[in-house]
Amino acid sequence: MATILETKQAVVAEVAAIAAQSPVMVGLDLSGLTVSELTRLRREARRSDVYLKVVKNTLLRRAVMGTGFECVRETLKGPLLVAFSRDEPGAAARMMRDFRKANPKADVRLVAVAGRLLGPQDLDAVAKLPTRDEALAQLMGVMKAPIAKLVRVLAAPNSKLVRTLAAVRDQKQG
C-alpha cells in the first residue's frame, strides 16, 4: 500500500515541479485517440521540448496547487493529457494545434497561460506567440530603429549637399 502512495506522491511532485516553471499548460481530451496517435504526439513532444503526462485529475489538482495553474482545478474532468511548455511559451500550444489538424477527433479542453484559464478557442492565439529567437529579433529591431533614424537624420544634410552639387554639375554639362 505504501508503494502506491509513494508513486502518487512522486507523480504529484514531478508535475508540480514542471508546472511551477512552465508558462503555458494545454489539456487534451484522450477519448477516442489510438495508441499510435499518442506515440506520435509523444515523439513530437520530445522534439519540441514539451512535457507531456497523463495524470489522474485528483493528482493533477494537487500538483497545480500553489502554481500559476491553480485556475484549472475546476475544469479537470475525464481522461486528460497535459502538456507544459518548458522554454518557449507557445511550444505546447503549437504542438497541440498541429496534432489537432492531423487528428480532427482530438479535442483540446483547456489552455492556461500565466495563471489565466483560457478557452480551447484561444489555442491558436497562444500558438502564435513568438519563439525566443523571434522575440529577441523583434526586440533588437525595436531597439535599433531609433539609432538608425538618428543616423539617417544626421546624414541627410551631407547627402543633400552631394545631390545638389551633382545636379549643378549635370546642369553645367548639359
pLDDT in tens, 52-65: 988 888 888 888 88
Q: How many domains does the chain have?
A: 2
Same domain, 62 and 114: yes
Same domain, 7 and 61: yes
For the chain, give the mean pLDDT: 86
Q: State the pLDDT confidence band at 88, using cuts at 50, 70 and 90.
A: confident
Domain range for 173 is: 130-174
Same domain, 46 and 13: yes
Identify the three-state secondary structure at position 22: coil
CATH label of the domain that carries residue 33: 3.30.70.1730
pLDDT of residue 43: 92
Single-letter amino acid code for the residue at 126: V
DSSP H helices in the chain: 2-21, 35-48, 57-63, 91-102, 123-127, 132-173
Same domain, 12 and 95: yes
pLDDT of residue 160: 86
Q: State the pLDDT confidence band at 2, using cuts at 50, 70 and 90.
A: low
Same domain, 171 and 118: no
Q: What's the pLDDT tens digit per position in 104-158? A: 888 888 888 887 888 888 888 888 888 888 888 888 988 988 888 888 888 888 8
Same domain, 146 and 80: no
Same domain, 87 and 9: yes
Q: What is the pTM of this model?
A: 0.72
Please state at what angle helix 35-48 crosses helix 91-102, rounded to 10 degrees. 150
- Between CA 79 and CA 60 the distance in angstroms is 12
Same domain, 107 and 134: no
Same domain, 96 and 135: no
Torsion of CA 51, 53, 58, 64, to 10 degrees: 0
- Between CA 82 and CA 18 the distance in angstroms is 11
Same domain, 121 and 149: no
Same domain, 65 and 17: yes
Same domain, 73 and 146: no
pLDDT of residue 169: 92
pLDDT of residue 1: 53
Taking 70 as the threshold, does the pLDDT of residue 27 lie above it?
yes
